[in-house]
Amino acid sequence: MALRLGDTVPNFTQASSEGEINFYDWAGDSWVVLFSHPADFTPVCTTELGAVAKLKPEFDKRNVKVIALSVDDVESHKGWIGDINETQNTTVNYPILADPDKKVSDLYDMIHPNSLNNLTVRSVFIIDDQKKLRLTFTYPASTGRNFDEILRVIDSLQLTDNYSVATPANWTDGGDCVIVPTLKDPEVLKEKFPKGYEVVKPYLRMTPQPNK
């Protein structure tokens, strides 16, 4: 059955480029970005893995661990990591799960029989510190993923969790936010949003980003 937003993601134990990983233990109390690849030594994915390695400090600042998955085995991964490091001028600094038995791919519904490549599709899962699925993206093989967008989404999700705001279209860090509709009490609003807020419509109230 497909995972839905808000579901608790399934645990697994699987080999990786950094040794055997029990997912729940490895994740601990961090958020996680799990992103999958149809196979090793694929061109677009090579650029993506390099991009994520360079962005790892940004994920770390947000208490996010990153982990990749490909259906090839650990030895293949190690060869691919050498290529990634060489061609992308970086060092892969996070694990790549080996999934030749497709155990994890099946658990996370990464197998799409009608896709171009009848292996894992290129999916992204953002999982919070309670092991809840908060977002999924699925990309075609030809389009590289935008990891700046993934960081933007994480910023938005963490703002909602911590400050009772949502983010409008094309929001970027530092921009005005939307007060969630469930907050109605004027005293609560005053306490939560000391910078004030603008009532555009009763259902659309804008406030400066609370943590800036």
21, 34, 45, 49: the catalytic one is 45
Euclidean distance between CA atoms 181 and 60, whole angstroms:
31
Kindly list the distances between the CA atom of residue 108 and the CA atoms of 17, 38, 57, 96, 144, in Å, as whole numbers in the listed order.
20, 14, 26, 16, 21
Q: At a CB cut-off of 8 Å and minimum separation 6, what does 20 contact? A: 13, 14
Catalytic site residue 45?
yes
Euclidean distance between CA atoms 23 and 17, whole angstroms:
14
Active centre residues (catalytic): 45
